[in-house]
Each structure stands twice: as structure tokens, then as C-alpha cells.
Amino acid sequence: MKTKIIVIVGPTAVGKTALGIGLAQKFQGEIISGDSQQVYRKLDIGTAKASPEEQAAARHHLIDVREVTETYSAYDFVQEARTAISDVTSRGKVPIIVGGTGLYLQSLIEGYHLGGQVDQEAVLAYRQELELLSDSDLFGKIAELDIEIAELNRRRAIRALEIAKFNPDAENNESEYDALLIGLNADRQLIYDRINLRVDLMMDHGLLDEASWLYENYPTCQASRGIGYKELFPYFAGEASLDEVTDKLKQNTRRFAKRQLTWFRNRMDVDFYDITEPDFKAQIEAKVSAFLKVEPQI
């Protein structure tokens, strides 16, 4: 029997953390972060990491598991998330994965990865190239390479071609998880307004100091390339004003949110809920209750 997991996705600033904690409290769950930046120690504000109070409200995993000098990949996430899931379920708890890094979550849920040394940007570029192909051309590539796929469809075909190109020895297994994917969304302008407000609050709470420490000590590490830090570096270099880099950070975060939604809509089977609906939380709780076959705790 496959292990049941809850996965909460959506664009940045939509409220995934709060929902995850609420579900963890009602369904005896624990949170597993599905975010590529929250793994880094000392990068708290710019990554919108769950606060100490939030982490006390529900146990969290895969937060603060890397130094900023270290790298982190989809391969690392899959391995460590699988370990965390086993740990959570061994104690009779429900794994609740919360995050916005689509590649990581898809790799875990669909039961495959391309290995730790694969250039993920190259994978994404190749995937975008494949997605432009018609079904006929895409399936023709599968036939040309003599790849056997049960229940052939576009998603499986693209996945198989990625593996064939970047790591032919990688396993392409069926997932060991029964995942309920819950997506949060809202009107685009509302999401953008929430992002702009979040950036302002981050600046008020010390993001500039956090980014300055990263710039002065580790300006070329993988962590420094994340949204929330690289946008501020021109200010420290004297190349742009604080207002200019703050506006750039807001713009890049809005664009990132748009890419997140595109990924989750096109590549993953997500049930989306509008956070402006008065009963959206009740709807989600009912869905989770039916999925787990347990009643929520009051």
C-alpha cells in the first residue's frame, strides 16, 4: 500500500505555511519543507522561512539542513524528503509537504530523479523544448529511441526523454506515494499585492542585513542566486539605489509566482482553492479528511 502524503503548493505569499500548520494540527501531521532555499541556515527572512513560533506550532523537517556554502538539488531533496516521510509515518503522523519548488515536488511525487550532478537548468531548457512539440512529434521521439512506456501520455513521454538524455542509468519508478495535491491561488492582482507587501515587511524586518552578510561573505554561492538576495547585490556594489533594487525584488518575485502557477497547472495534478472564498479552508479540510479517512481534530 502506498504511503499517503499531503502536498500543499501555490505561488509565493499565498498562505501555504499557515494552511500547512493548520492541517498538521487538525490531522496529526508534520511539515516537510518543499522549498529549495529554506534548507539554508541563516537565510531566514529572504526565504520566508517559518518563524520559530510557527515551527513550534507544528514540527518541521528539511529546514536549516545546509550551510550557505553547500549546494542543494532536486536529487538531494528527493532522498532527504523520502527519509523524512518515513520518519514521520513511523511515528503515526501524516507527512504534509509544503513548498513552491515545482521540480523538487514533481520529482518526489512522480518517483524519479536525474541524479545529483545533473544541470537542472539544462533539464528545464530541454523540457521547455519538448513541450513545444506536438503529440505526434513527441511520441515519435519515444518510438525512435525505442523507449517502452506503459500508458503513454505527454507527461510520461517528456519524463522518459529527460532521463534518456541526461541520465540513461537513472531509474524511472512508479511513485511509492499516494499524494493529495492541494493548491492555493487567488486573483493575480491580489497575489501581486501580497508579494509587494511581503517584500516591504521583509525589508522592515532586516532583509537588507541578511543579504549584506551573504554579499560580503559568500557572493558566488548557490544560495546567493536565490530570489530575495541577488536583487539587492547591486545596491551593496553602489550600482543601484535601495528603491531600485527593492522594486526589482518585487518584480522578480511576481514573475516567479507566475512561473510557479504555470508549473503546477501544467505539470502536476493539483486541485486549486481560491483563498478569497470564505469556506476554502473548510473545503480543504473535508478533502483531506476524506483522503485520510479520519475526522479532523477540533
- Residues forming a β-bridge with 274: 185
What is the C-alpha end-to-end distance of the chain, expressed in Å? 29
Q: Is 12 annotated as a binding residue?
A: yes
- Asked if 92 contacts 294 with a C-beta cutoff of 8 angstroms, the reply is no
- Residues forming a β-bridge with 96: 6, 31
Q: Is 228 annotated as a binding residue?
A: no
Any idea what the Cα angle at residue 66 is, between residues 123 and 41, rounded to 5°? 120
d(CA 38, CA 101): 11
Q: Is 220 annotated as a binding residue?
A: no
d(CA 139, CA 84): 36
Phi, psi of 151 (to 5 degrees): 55, 65
Return the amino acid letter for 228: G
Q: Is 13 annotated as a binding residue?
A: yes
d(CA 31, CA 232): 30
Among candidate residues 272, 255, 267, 292, the one with its CA nearest the CA of residue 107: 267
C-alpha dihedral over 191, 197, 198, 201, to 10 degrees?
A: -170
d(CA 178, CA 11): 23
Q: Is 286 annotated as a binding residue?
A: no
d(CA 105, CA 9): 9
Q: Is 15 annotated as a binding residue?
A: yes
Return the amino acid letter for 124: L
| 199-to-14, 16, 47, 176, 263 alpha-carbon distances in Å | 13, 17, 11, 38, 23
Q: Is 71 annotated as a binding residue?
A: no
Q: Is 296 annotated as a binding residue?
A: no
Among candidate residues 213, 199, 205, 208, the one with its CA nearest the CA of residue 232: 208
Binding residues: 10-17
Binding residues for ATP: 10-17
Binding residues for substrate: 12-17
